Amino acid sequence: TGKDKIIKFAGCYHGHQDSLLVAAGSGLATLSLPGSKGVPEGAVKNTLIATYNDLESVKKHFEEHDDIAGVIIEPICGNMGVVIPQDNFLVALKEYLQTKGALLIADEVMTGFRSKFGGAQELLGVEADITCLGKVIGGGFPVGAYGARNEIMQEVAPLGGMYQAGTLSGNPIAMAGGISTLTELKRQHPYAQFNKTALTLENILLDTAKKYEVALVVNRFGSMMNPFFTKGKVTNFKEAQTSDTKKFAIFFWEMIKNGVFLPPSQFEAWFLSSAISKRDIKKIAIAVDKAMLAVSKM
């Protein structure tokens, strides 16, 4: 684009890259840090912060700056807890960016092949200009990938001037693991079962919280989910931060005591896998009951 600035959303994490380690969600939020030490001021001077689900906050930046190259976003946020786009937010964002000649970059490292074989973009009816992928596509091995419209990919060396290389690029073991995983996902197509299992767990959390009069909101997108110990809706990072992290800590440790291991942060997404059985769900339900009881005694 020939422009320097990029917009990201508060609470979204896009890897350990200096220019994007601003208001970056889960890890920093868990430790109550605004940013990471060691990131020089110059590295973030071209990074602008907007509010997720708030198109006006994006428009304001465009009104104030004429050198914005694009917007990077998690289609479904997973690093401020799971936060879902409201009121066709992504579609409206893409349409607006097109009027400005700016690119939409979708970070589907979490959602790619997880919520549907075509990722969150397929489910939400939006197509980004550039898509980043990881996690699932490696079948458990470290891997990252990106793709874009043809004219953008033509800019990547050796066809264009954007140099990209790495010691482990195209690593044979990671590629073999990824191909096998994607082949099985396409063959089994477990997404309906993922959704069914996740809905069951969502109801267990909500029903048990109600039983013990614990304020709880559950955000879920397919097999990604997150409980927030708060009363109101959670649609952005500021609202996610209203969650009672002390209650989450009690809940987390009680779940551990009862043999259920969760991500150790209020702001980390939960992921379900095809390996979870009905027997596992029963065990989780028992653990949730004990954990919610402990939370209710705070």
Q: Is 7 helix (H, G, I), strand (E, B) or coil?
A: strand
Distance CA 203, CA 281 (A): 11
User: For this structure, is 13 an active site residue?
Assistant: yes
Residue with tokens 């840090």: 33
| Vertex 104: Cα angle to 24 and 73 (nearest 5) | 20
Integer CA distances (angstroms), 174 to 116, 146, 170, in order: 21, 15, 8
Distance CA 292, CA 179 (A): 41
Tell me which of 8, 52, 94, 107 is the catalytic residue: 107
Both tokens of residue 270?
């939960």
Q: Quick one: DSSP state of residue 102?
A: -
Q: What is the DSSP string of 29-50?
A: HHTT-SB-TT--GGGGTTEEEE
Tell me which of 5, 8, 13, 247 is the catalytic residue: 13
For residue 257, which amino acid is it? K
Tell me which of 5, 8, 116, 135 is the catalytic residue: 135
Among candidates 243, 246, 258, 244, which has minimal Cα distance to 291? 258
Residue 72 pairs in a beta bridge with: 105
Rama region for 140: left / alpha / beta (φ>0; ψ in -120 to 50; rest): left
Both tokens of residue 106?
């979708």
Active-site residues: which are they?
A: 13, 107, 135
